[in-house]
């Protein structure tokens, strides 16, 4: 028997949904690069259900308990007295999502004497101390590509929301107004702008593909240059470094992982090299952007807008300055946890567990 501790976000404030806005979701059986979507032996949920919150349990309880395992699910994850901390000592498996991460520090690895597997239900395991995991011979796994397109869609939505000044315009409707001049005084067309992505991996490339029909000028920086045929297909301009790219872009979207090289990459100096009045989108990780540098840039007008769904820490405290800074389009960390994405990463988590318990390689 294994003890599986699963950290998920809280249920909706009005309770777990008795029904949903839609009756079904499209079936995605493979990703743009040809990789197949998760293929567990079975799933114990209906695709499109809310699985990432406590009551959803990632659809794992029936499977785990039928095989003699124990499942503990909690949203209480931070601090020495948290429920997660209490359950960690004899846990064999820890599961959490990037949107509500269980921060697996060296201290927590030292405490978890039985730990063998840490699963990210989603993509991005920077909330786990990977060196500590290696030192303790603990496997770290995530569900590759499961929500990359979900995030790419969120990026495009945020770019359009900022450039077209959507959020303030919507708020005038809520207020009962018809203030057209107030709505459009910061509204522009995306057409013809120069848009660049920091990294052109699964998410970055998907963003570029979705923006190409908008008749924009597309730029990218990545350590690994894309194939020539892809550059020609999308009419991409490659830049050898981030500084070179941001100087010419009206919109910059961050789609790289967080590591020592990218932490606080967008500080006062980097933002100062951007065009005045440009827009910055960050759905990668909060610490890639310097928190206070972003606030200063919005207040001074160096940035016309900043949007993203990644913060540090997560959840963000109520007094986090990104909640109240001007001209922002922030959301909680939701880009990769749409109900569509949850179907894939819940299935992927089960596939990982099936392979782990069977002693098979985890793909």
pLDDT, residue 173, reads 98
Nearest Cα to 5, choosing from 146, 117, 168? Answer: 117
Of the pLDDT bands very low, low, confident and very high (cuts 50, 70, 90), residue 43 is: very high
pLDDT, residue 329, reads 98
Of the pLDDT bands very low, low, confident and very high (cuts 50, 70, 90), residue 82 is: very high
Question: Residue 310, exposed/middle/buried by CB under 10 A (0-12, 13-18, 19+)?
Answer: buried
Answer for the pair 53, 11: CB distance below 8 angstroms, yes or no.
yes
The tens digit of pLDDT for each residue in 102-122 reads 999 999 999 999 999 999 999
Mean pLDDT of the chain: 97
Interaxial angle between packed helices 148-163 and 202-211, expressed in degrees from 0 to 180 and rounded to the nearest 10: 50
Any idea where the domains of the chain sit in the sequence? 3-122+338-358, 147-330
Regarding the domain with residue range 3-122+338-358, which homologous superfamily does it belong to in the CATH classification? NAD(P)-binding Rossmann-like Domain (3.40.50.720)
Residue range 80-107: mean pLDDT, rounded: 97
Same topology between domain 3-122+338-358 and domain 147-330: yes
Q: Which residues contact 80 (CB under 8 A, 6 or more apart)?
A: none
Q: So which residues are the catalytic ones?
A: 147, 285, 314, 333
Report strand pairing: 93-96 vs 117-120. Answer: parallel
- Measured between alpha carbons, how far is 22 from 193 in angstroms, rounded to an integer? 35
Of the pLDDT bands very low, low, confident and very high (cuts 50, 70, 90), residue 337 is: very high
3-state SS assignment for residue 70? strand
Fold of 147-330: Rossmann fold (3.40.50)
Answer for the pair 351, 343: CB distance below 8 angstroms, yes or no.
no
Strands in the chain per DSSP E: 3-7, 70-74, 93-96, 117-120, 139-142, 194-198, 217-221, 236-239, 251-254, 278-282, 303-308
- Measured between alpha carbons, how far is 297 from 357 in angstroms, rounded to an integer? 50
Q: Which residues contact 195 (CB under 8 A, 6 or more apart)?
A: 159, 211, 216, 217, 218, 219, 249, 250, 251, 252, 253
pLDDT, residue 288, reads 98
Sequential DSSP letters for 75-131: S--SSTTSHHHHHHTT-SEEEEBTTB---B-HHHHHH-TT--EEEESSS--TTB-HH
Interaxial angle between packed helices 166-174 and 148-163, expressed in degrees from 0 to 180 and rounded to the nearest 10: 70
Could you give the C-alpha distances from 250 to 163, 188, 266, 280, 318, in angstroms and in order? 10, 11, 15, 9, 31
Residue range 200-215: mean pLDDT, rounded: 98
- pTM attached to this predicted model: 0.96
313 vs 204 pLDDT, higher one: 204
Torsion angles phi and psi, residue 99, rounded to 5:
-75, -25
Q: Which residues contact 324 (CB under 8 A, 6 or more apart)?
A: none
């Amino acid at each position: 028997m294994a003890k599986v501790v699963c950290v998920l976000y809280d249920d909706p404030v009005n309770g777990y949904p008795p029904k949903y806005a839609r009756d079904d979701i499209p079936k995605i059986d493979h990703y743009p690069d040809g990789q197949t979507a998760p293929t567990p032996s079975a799933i114990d949920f209906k695709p499109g259900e809310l699985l990432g919150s406590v009551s959803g349990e990632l659809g794992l309880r029936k499977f785990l308990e039928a095989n003699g395992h124990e499942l503990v699910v909690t949203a209480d994850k931070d601090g020495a007295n948290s429920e997660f901390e209490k359950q960690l000592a004899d846990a064999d498996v820890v599961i959490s999502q990037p949107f509500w991460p269980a921060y697996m520090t060296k201290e927590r690895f030292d405490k978890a004497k039985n730990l063998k597997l840490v699963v990210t239900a989603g993509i991005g395991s920077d909330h786990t101390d990977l060196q500590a995991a290696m030192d303790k011979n603990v496997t770290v796994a995530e569900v590759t590509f499961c929500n990359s397109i979900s995030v790419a869609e969120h990026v495009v939505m945020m770019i359009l929301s900022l450039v077209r000044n959507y959020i303030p315009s919507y708020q005038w409707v809520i207020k009962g107004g018809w203030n057209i001049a107030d709505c459009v005084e910061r509204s522009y067309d995306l057409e013809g702008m120069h848009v660049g992505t920091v990294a052109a991996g699964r998410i970055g490339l998907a963003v570029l593909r979705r923006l190409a029909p908008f008749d924009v000028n597309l730029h990218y920086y990545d350590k690994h240059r894309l194939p020539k045929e892809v550059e020609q297909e999308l009419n991409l301009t490659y830049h050898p470094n981030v500084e070179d790219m941001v100087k010419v872009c009206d919109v910059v979207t961050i789609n790289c992982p967080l590591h020592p090289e990218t932490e606080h990459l967008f500080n006062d100096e980097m933002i100062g090299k951007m065009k005045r009045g440009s827009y910055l989108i960050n759905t990668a990780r909060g610490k890639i952007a310097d928190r206070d540098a972003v606030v200063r840039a919005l207040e001074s007008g160096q940035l016309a807008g900043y949007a993203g769904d990644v913060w540090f820490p997560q959840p963000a405290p109520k007094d986090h300055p990104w909640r109240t800074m001007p001209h922002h389009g922030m959301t909680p960390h939701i880009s990769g946890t749409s109900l569509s994405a949850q179907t894939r990463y819940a299935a992927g988590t089960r596939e990982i567990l099936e392979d782990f318990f069977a002693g098979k390689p985890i793909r």
